[in-house]
Chains A and B, each alone.
Chain A
């Protein structure tokens, strides 16, 4: 049932990449619990604009959990407290009347703040550009059953492919490691025949790019898996380790 709540928001405001940021607190009354978290921010921004103040900058696009644009560290969790949901899928009914909600940008050396809550996640694009694709020409679409693929592999590849590249894994990781993201991208291709051909090369160049961009060393804490809105499993990280190590030992 729809209810209204009054909340306080402690939001990180930072005018630009090189400027020092700080928290600012906003009070927002009569927020409908049916609002999504981003709609609530829209309402807050409308109020700010009406008062001729700078609106809060945050990333968003599809608002249905598929594009990976939304971010935000809400009350100590990337994408908020709910499991397997993105920030755009988070609703105000998950908050209590009178609650203070702390909203921060992703904080990781490889994701510098652009403005307020928006960070530059270009590092992930660079990792993909390094090798996260298939470059062989596979010709026309083959017959459905021409290449048999086990159900287990197909499912694993699909699970890995559900990664939306949001960066919550690296944001939550105490080591600032991007291993879950890279592992998902390497796994989704390595498990299927088309991507298998370049798997060894892909693992090497993507890991090299990840290291070069300043992401940390994974120590298997598992925070990434717990916070990933798509519940990508850390068993993909073990697969990436194996792909990488066997490629290096073959050299």
Chain B
């Protein structure tokens, strides 16, 4: 099967799953930002999604997207290490114009994955999982999402952890978005630098929307104490 056997096929899978994850993040961050604007509206969203069939179906598709992306990341990274050979350069310098993130996609991905596990425990396990199984894992009812978010981020350590996580995501995406397009065959010399700029803008929007939340709670907690 050429999607597994050929390098470009494997890359295409990376690109499609990556793009899918980016689209999901855009959707996810748009929902999250509501918690700042209006906690009541946010609770309505939480209740609406909850553990209804469409949310569960979405979650499963999403989870498989992550699994495929990560499995292929492991596979590609292993093959690339092998292709580099056993002997390493004694002196090797990074070239001008080569982004740090582009050379550390796996490291960044691993950091993202680590925090993702924490994030799943913090939110998914205590909200959707609790509702699905009826097991009481969190202190809050899923339809009280906003109160739960506020409670979690009243701890500045959580705020800091989420901010670090989102920074790693930003680096992963600044390379990832344009790389995905290049992999899919968008070729144009004039557009290449523009696509890179667009990629930076998309990553920044996504990450800023997410980051606004811990930063908002961090600031509002600071001023009251």
Contacts and interface: CB of A to CB of B under 8 A. Distances in A.
A130 to B, nearest CB: 13
A175 interface: yes
Contact of A223 (B86, B98, B175): B98
A241 B8 contact: yes
A226 B84 contact: no
A235 B90 contact: no
Contacts of B11: 217-219, 241
A21 B96 CA distance: 30
A108 interface: yes
Given A110-B83, A238-B187, A239-B187, A220 B175 contact: yes
Interface in B88-115: 88-99, 102-103, 105
Contact of B10 (A10, A109, A113, A217): A217
A73 B183 contact: no
A228 to B, nearest CB: 10
A248 B82 contact: no
A4 interface: no
A76 B179 CA distance: 25
B220 interface: no
B188 A245 contact: no
B185 A245 contact: yes
A217 B13 CA distance: 12
Interface of A is mostly: mixed
A175 B98 contact: no
Interface string B4-17: 01111111100000
Contacts of B80: 174-177, 216-217, 219
A111 B87 CA distance: 11
Nearest to A233: B189
B91 to A, nearest CB: 4
A244 B84 contact: no
A185 interface: no
Q: Categorize the interface residue count of chain A.
A: 35 or more
A207 B89 contact: no
Contact of B7 (A210, A225, A236): A210
Contacts of B87: 21, 107, 113
Contacts of B76: 217, 219
B192 interface: yes
B102 A107 contact: no
A227 interface: yes
B187 A214 contact: no
A189 B3 CA distance: 25
Contacts of A223: 94-95, 98, 103
B184 interface: yes
B152 to A, nearest CB: 35
B186 interface: yes
Given A175-B80, A227-B95, A245 B12 contact: yes
Nearest to B94: A223
Contacts of A240: 8
Contacts of A23: 90
Given A226-B96, A241-B182, A244-B8, A235 B187 contact: yes
B53 interface: no
A181 B96 CA distance: 20
Given A172-B95, A235-B188, 13 more contacts: A76-B91, A108-B84, A176-B80, A216-B82, A218-B7, A219-B179, A223-B95, A225-B97, A238-B185, A241-B184, A241-B185, A245-B184, A248-B2
Interface of A: 10, 21, 23, 73, 75-77, 102, 104, 107-111, 113, 156, 172, 174-177, 179, 207-208, 210-211, 214-223, 225-227, 233-246, 248
